[in-house]
């Protein structure tokens, strides 16, 4: 019996590259190759060399091919999902002029504030891009580069997002998709194109930017001979436009126009992220009003401090991740790297409410509570942005994904503070699975969301709601209200 075609879904994240080899017909994961990334920087700086992403992709593909036990000739397509917002500046040869400024580099916070004011305030930005600039947004990073490293800015022959950089290396084509483009700050979700006025405000020439493909499933080219040699894959296979990591996770969950709409997701990873796919164009300054990669929208709120911040507290206390207990009177806001939602880029962590009776496990529990509170506090805004009534919103289960969704204490804390029913999908690599569905769609022409839904990648355990811990919720909220001016 002839073998079904194999597609590769790539998740190029902040910390690593994962390459999933997936049976395009059944969605069965045949193998996963991995390779780490290095992140450098201190005092708000977070940078990575884009060339290491390309090397990591080669290593991950090679490891996946060996594990899968399939011939390279069986691979029919590839798509890359990448960390959002990062600024990659290239020379005329397509080589990085400097390390990429990553999404969690907070040095561009002053530029974000200046851009917001220059256009007329948050409402003006929301009307055009769906989002208000924060330090993470690529436009703010470009202005930081323009002001602090003018030689690099003037030498730039191309500007790319991380997934664009890798897609171009694969296909030789400068292309992006509406989803990842909507996180730049120079793409309008109102018009579905780059915004000339915003480009003028930024001092950015449109010729430096990639073409925006119709969707992330659009075939933007074929694997070049050079890329094929580097990766050990057949030349000429389909290369999809790909998308940003959050947009790919939505595809992997079967969320979008051909699947579930207005169903919220909480991703617990390096960052904590709440999002949903919807047909309603979001208009809340409290959210990032992104486009989804399939033509719908993806309102999203992102926090900087999630699993890594809680792990840091556990390490300081000498405790394991699941040694936590509810925080009692203690409140710990784990803003160890500043914060994005709420927009407090220069904030540090805050601990209050200590008693003689406070225990180490309670302090760790307070760190969990602070991180979960920060992520969940944006949930109501998210559901309103989808146009749901309170009753409709309450009926929507919260899907829990990311590395934290495999942790008992994370799940228990989300259940207790949200009081909502949860679904924990069985699949663990939803970003890469979403990218694989985009690759399959580039090969077959099928809808990627429908493809992922047929694979069942978003299915999993359903957990009934528990009584909401309103006392903990109100205690944390009161501390944040009082401390916000000091956290500034």
Residues in the chain: 488
Q: What residues have CB less than 8 Å from 85, skipping those under 6 apart?
A: 102, 103, 136, 137, 138, 141, 161, 183, 184
Question: Between β-strands 297-303 and 272-275, what pairing exists: parallel, antiparallel or unpaired?
Answer: antiparallel
Cβ contact 19:8 at 8 Å: yes
Enumerate the active-site residues: 245
How far is 272 from 269, CA to CA, in rounded Å?
6
What's the CA angle centered on 195, arms 190 and 198, to 5 degrees?
120
Cβ contact 270:402 at 8 Å: no
CA dihedral 343, 347, 348, 349 (to 10 degrees): -40
DSSP class per residue in 414-472: HHHHH---EEEES-S-HHHHHHHHHHHHHHH---HHHHHHHHTTT-EEEE------HHH
84 annotated binding-site participant: yes
Inter-CA distances, 331 with 241, 328, 360, 366, 435, Å = 44, 8, 13, 6, 39
How far is 215 from 257, CA to CA, in rounded Å?
12
Question: Between β-strands 272-275 and 158-160, what pairing exists: parallel, antiparallel or unpaired?
Answer: unpaired
Cα–Cα nearest to 443, from 57, 68, 9? 9
3-state DSSP of 139-204: HHHHHHHHHHCHHHHHHCCEEECHHHHHHHHHHCCCEECHHHHCCCCCEECCCCEECHHHHHHHCC
What's the CA angle centered on 420, arms 389 and 305, to 5 degrees?
100
37 annotated binding-site participant: no
Residue 387 φ/ψ region, left for φ over 0, alpha for ψ in the -120 to 50 degree band, beta for the rest: left
How far is 467 from 418, CA to CA, in rounded Å?
9
How far is 188 from 128, CA to CA, in rounded Å?
5
3-state DSSP of 248-282: HHHHHCCECCCCECCCCEEEECCCEEEECCECCCC
Number of other CB atoms surrounding residue 9 within 10 Å = 33
* Segment (H or E) for 239: strand 238-240
Cβ contact 128:188 at 8 Å: yes
Cα–Cα nearest to 332, from 373, 379, 272? 373
Annotated binding site: 84-85
Binding residues for substrate: 84-85
């Amino acid at each position: 019996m002839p073998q079904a075609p194999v597609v590769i879904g790539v998740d190029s994240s902040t910390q690593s590259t994962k390459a999933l080899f997936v049976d395009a017909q059944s969605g069965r994961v045949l193998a996963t190759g991995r390779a780490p990334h290095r992140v450098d920087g201190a005092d708000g700086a977070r940078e990575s060399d884009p060339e290491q992403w390309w090397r990591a992709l080669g290593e991950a593909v090679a490891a996946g091919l060996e594990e899968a036990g399939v011939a390279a000739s069986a691979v029919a397509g590839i798509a890359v999902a990448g960390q959002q917002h990062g600024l990659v500046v290239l020379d005329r040869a397509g080589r990085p002029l400097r390390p990429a400024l990553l999404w969690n580099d907070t040095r561009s916070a002053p530029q974000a504030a200046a851009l917001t004011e220059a256009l007329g305030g948050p409402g003006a930005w929301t009307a055009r891009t769906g989002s208000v600039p924060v330090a993470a947004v690529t436009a703010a990073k470009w202005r930081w580069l323009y002001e602090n490293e003018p030689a690099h800015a003037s030498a730039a022959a191309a500007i790319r997002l991380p997934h664009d950089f890798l897609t171009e290396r694969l296909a030789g084509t400068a292309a992006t998709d509406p989803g990842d483009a909507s996180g730049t700050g120079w793409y309008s979700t109102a018009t579905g194109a780059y915004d000339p006025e915003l480009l003028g405000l930024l001092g950015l020439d449109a010729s430096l930017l990639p073409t925006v493909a119709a969707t992330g499933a659009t075939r933007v080219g074929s694997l070049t001979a050079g890329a094929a040699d580097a990766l050990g894959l057949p030349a000429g296979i389909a290369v999809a436009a790909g998308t940003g990591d959050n947009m790919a996770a939505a595809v992997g969950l079967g969320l979008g126009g051909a699947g579930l709409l207005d169903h919220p997701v909480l991703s617990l990873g390096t960052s904590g992220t709440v999002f949903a796919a919807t047909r309603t164009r979001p208009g809340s300054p409290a959210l990032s009003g992104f486009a989804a990669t399939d033509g719908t929208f993806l309102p999203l709120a992102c926090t900087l401090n999630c699993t890594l911040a809680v792990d840091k507290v556990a390490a300081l206390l000498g405790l394991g991740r699941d040694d936590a207990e509810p925080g009692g009177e203690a409140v710990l806001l784990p803003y160890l790297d500043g914060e994005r939602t709420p927009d407090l880029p220069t904030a540090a962590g805050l601990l209050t409410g200590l008693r003689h009776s406070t225990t180490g496990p309670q302090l760790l529990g307070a760190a969990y509570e602070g991180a979960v509170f920060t992520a969940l506090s944006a949930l109501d805004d998210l559901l309103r942005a989808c146009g749901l009534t309170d009753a409709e919103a309450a009926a929507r289960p919260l899907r829990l994904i990311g590395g934290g969704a495999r942790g008992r204490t994370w799940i228990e804390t989300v259940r207790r503070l949200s009081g909502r029913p949860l679904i924990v999908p069985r699949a663990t690599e939803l970003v890469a699975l979403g990218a694989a569905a985009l690759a399959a769609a580039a090969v077959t022409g099928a809808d990627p969301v429908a493809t992922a839904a047929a694979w069942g990648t978003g299915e999993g355990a359903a957990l009934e709601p528990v009584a909401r811990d309103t006392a903990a919720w109100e205690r944390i909220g009161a501390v944040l209200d009082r401390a916000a001016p000091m956290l500034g």
